Structure 1
Amino acid sequence: MDPTFPPLTLLFRFAFFYPIVMAFFWMAGGVYYYLRRERGAPPPDRPPPMAHMPPVSILVPCFNEAGTIEETIAALDGQAWPDFEIIVVDDGSTDDTPTRLDAMLARHPRLRVIHLESNQGKANALRMGALAARSEYLVCIDADAILDEHAVRWMIGHLLDGPRVGAVTGNPRIRNRTTLLGRTQVGEYSAIIGLIKRAQRVYGRLFTLSGVICAFRRTALHRIGYWNDHMVTEDIDISWRLQMDHWDIRYEPNALCWILMPETFRGLWSQRLRWARGGIEVLLSHGLGVLSWRKRRMWGVLAEYVLSVGWAYTMLLIIVLWALGLLVPMPPALHVDTILPRWHGVVLAVVCLLQFAVSLLIERRYEPKLARHFYWVIWYPFAFWALGMLTAVVALPTTLLSPRARRAIWTSPDRGVR
């Protein structure tokens, strides 16, 4: 790499420094959030008392969830909240999910079931559930997740305390940990996703709610027209539209939810590509809309995502130049010796482990035995950074070439090894 060629030199430096700078940014934001909001707070199983506990509607959209839906409903029925209903929207399931739901009606008096004739997508199922709900406060959860008994109380507290709070997102925790991919994702959700949400809350806006566990104020949803059923990831889109309408979104780490994640490379690739496409869709749909001064609090989220996509394509350029150098002689300014980690790889690994150590200190109040998974996180840079780069590179052209009018319907995801 010739230093006399500044543009390319800047790209190489960006590829190296971007993950390091962002890691320290997330660590600083996470520590600040912890010191301001979590240190000394009551534990998740002892939420503070509430003077007013209004009715709540819990929405569960589902499609072909016969293997998990009964466990999910049983956990929801045990919520430590006096007045709530459970609305399950069966979006045209083709397995025996409808039969199981109808059989559960006798065992769970709070349960209501809505059967839709055909698969219309998660966004449409959520909208149908919201329109049928009897409460102003909606809690949405995936049909394969187990909600902690105090989660509703922790999230609804934010909606009651802040009249401009439009939504609250909870703290997903990985249930299936039988494979290397599953154990690595334990570290990812605590050290990466948890720190990112804390840091983003420090500067005021979240990139996305966790669609698996979130609560909404129905008035806020009604103002923006509910969920968009043409977006691949309805949770990212609803997050941006709420915040562009000047509603606040909060992160509540005490609202625990135990989820199933893919434990095969094929399932993980499909999931992360969908996430990446959802981010690109939101960028194309709302990126210019947040540039106005009145929406300046979204600038940090926008810049963070644009830089992440730029980093992915920078890494692609480096890999292409290295591959070309194996085939033909390259000019000195474009020559890449190797893509194998050297001293800079050691630096990245140390920073990664430091990030996991910081998250361990913060997250141990929610999962005391989290340290046992610390060894597995050393695989994170190899598995997930590479995966994130590849999905971002593929997502941009795929999204640009896909018809935008197509409805985003359900597909059965990889639930992991159980």
Structure 2
Amino acid sequence: MISFVQMGNGIVDFILTLIFLVLITYPILGGFAWFIGVLCYSFLFKYKQKDWDDIPVEVEPFVTIMVPAHNEEIVIEDTLNYLMTKINYENYEVLVTDDGSTDRTPEILKELQEKYDKLRVIKIEKNKGKAHAFNIGLGFAKGELVLSNDADTVPEPDSLNRYINYFIRQDSTNISAVTANMDVQNRAKLIAKSQTVEFSSIVGIIKRTQLGVLGSIYAYSGANTMYRKDALIDVGLFRQDRATEDISIAWDHQMDGWLSLFAPRIMFFMEVP
């Protein structure tokens, strides 16, 4: 083997040369692998949603938009005002699980409850994390479909109708959840613009590849995903002993035979640092 590093020690030279070759070839081989994955998604994956059906109001499935919140006084009012006034869907509620907030979040929620009939709030006295807050909220959710929506995130106005299109298909009985395509809402800073590239291209390509090659995704977007409530209950809800609840629940669904999907044509927008 040709050695690109000369340190005077054969084993060290071999290890460093191997690391060097991996770093050099990974972008090429990785890019080729992602390209093949996207081709598989485009031509082989059968669960793509090509058209959107308009769902009459009288048959709209009831949806609960779940918003876990902990010390979100900066963003919570704008997010809830948007969810209450900009969503093109009638049969839904917004359920906020106030996870032990110690700032002005409870006061803001109280004011908004007086303004919006569709808004409900569950007060959790002690903060125990997003998974715990979501599990508590699920017990109060009226909808059989539950949209997880972070407090700093807003979905596009037609998102609920588009999500529902996946769950009313004839082949949808085994779909556990559908996760949307993320984008950055505040792009003024350079770091925000770089995250736009990450979300719009890299993450999207990875999820398309997982669908095209493996037939399912292995990580939901915790910021905006619609879950079938029965699928969450079936796997014992979100595990509270793991740091990445959105990845954990996706794996639990895979292990239990559920189908997890990525919807690239459903957009949501999030605030980034």
TM bin, normalised by shorter chain, reads: 0.7 to 0.9
**Stretch moving more, 219-228 or 148-157:** 148-157
Contact 2:49 2:166 (C-alpha < 8 Å) held by counterparts? no
Task: Show the counterpart of 1:163.
Answer: 173
Task: Show the counterpart of 1:230.
Answer: 241
Q: Residues 133-152 of structure 1: CA distance to partner in whole angstroms, max 9, x if unpaired?
A: 11211111000111211111
Contact 1:63 1:90 (C-alpha < 8 Å) held by counterparts? yes
Secondary structure, aligned partner of 1:177: coil
Contact 1:29 1:202 (C-alpha < 8 Å) held by counterparts? yes
For residues 208 and 55 of structure 1, the distance between their equivalents in structure 2, rounded to whole angstroms, comes to: 25
- The answer to whether residue 53 in structure 2 is matched with residue 48 in structure 1 is yes
Q: Residues 282-310 of structure 1: CA distance to partner in whole angstroms, max 9, x if unpaired?
A: xxxxxxxxxxxxxxxxxxxxxxxxxxxxx
192, 195, 201: which one pairs with 1:185? Answer: 195
Task: Show the counterpart of 1:92.
Answer: 100
Task: Show the counterpart of 2:259.
Answer: 248
Q: How does 1:131-280 map to 2 (within 5 A)?
A: 131-161=139-169, 162-203=172-213, 204-261=215-272
Secondary structure, aligned partner of 1:106: helix
For residues 254 and 58 of structure 1, the distance between their equivalents in structure 2, rounded to whole angstroms, comes to: 19
The structure with more strand, counted as a fraction of residues: 2
Contact 1:87 1:133 (C-alpha < 8 Å) held by counterparts? yes
Q: Residues 7-61 of structure 1: CA distance to partner in whole angstroms, max 9, x if unpaired?
A: 634443333222322222223323543467899945xxxx322474211111000
Shift of 1:216: 0.6
Please give the TM-score of this superposition, normalised by the length of structure 2.
Answer: 0.87
Secondary structure, aligned partner of 2:93: strand
Structure 1 pair 24–50 and aligned structure 2 pair: CA distance change class (3 A):
farther
Q: How does 1:123-138 map to 2 (within 5 A)?
A: 123-138=131-146
Corresponding letter in the other structure for 1:121: G
For residues 41 and 212 of structure 2, the distance between their equivalents in structure 1, rounded to whole angstroms, comes to: 7
Corresponding letter in the other structure for 1:49: D
Shift of 1:250: 0.4
Please give the TM-score of this superposition, normalised by the length of structure 1.
Answer: 0.58
Shift of 1:205: 2.5
Contact 2:62 2:92 (C-alpha < 8 Å) held by counterparts? yes
Corresponding letter in the other structure for 2:174: R
Task: Show the counterpart of 1:14.
Answer: 22
Q: Residues 295-350 of structure 1: CA distance to partner in whole angstroms, max 9, x if unpaired?
A: xxxxxxxxxxxxxxxxxxxxxxxxxxxxxxxxxxxxxxxxxxxxxxxxxxxxxxxx
Secondary structure, aligned partner of 2:65: strand
- The answer to whether residue 129 in structure 2 is matched with residue 111 in structure 1 is no
Q: Residues 356-414 of structure 1: CA distance to partner in whole angstroms, max 9, x if unpaired?
A: xxxxxxxxxxxxxxxxxxxxxxxxxxxxxxxxxxxxxxxxxxxxxxxxxxxxxxxxxxx
Q: Structure 2: any 5+ residue segments left out of the alignment?
A: 5-9
Secondary structure, aligned partner of 2:168: helix
Secondary structure, aligned partner of 1:80: coil
Shift of 1:180: 1.4
**Stretch moving more, 5-14 or 186-195:** 5-14
Contact 1:151 1:254 (C-alpha < 8 Å) held by counterparts? no
Shift of 1:82: 2.3
Q: Residues 242-289 of structure 1: CA distance to partner in whole angstroms, max 9, x if unpaired?
A: 11111000001122111011xxxxxxxxxxxxxxxxxxxxxxxxxxxx
Task: Show the counterpart of 1:69.
Answer: 76
Contact 2:174 2:259 (C-alpha < 8 Å) held by counterparts? yes
Shift of 1:165: 0.3
Task: Show the counterpart of 1:274.
Answer: none
RMSD value, Cα: 2.3
Aligned residues: 258
Corresponding letter in the other structure for 1:99: E
Shift of 1:236: 0.8
For residues 60 and 222 of structure 2, the distance between their equivalents in structure 1, rounded to whole angstroms, comes to: 24
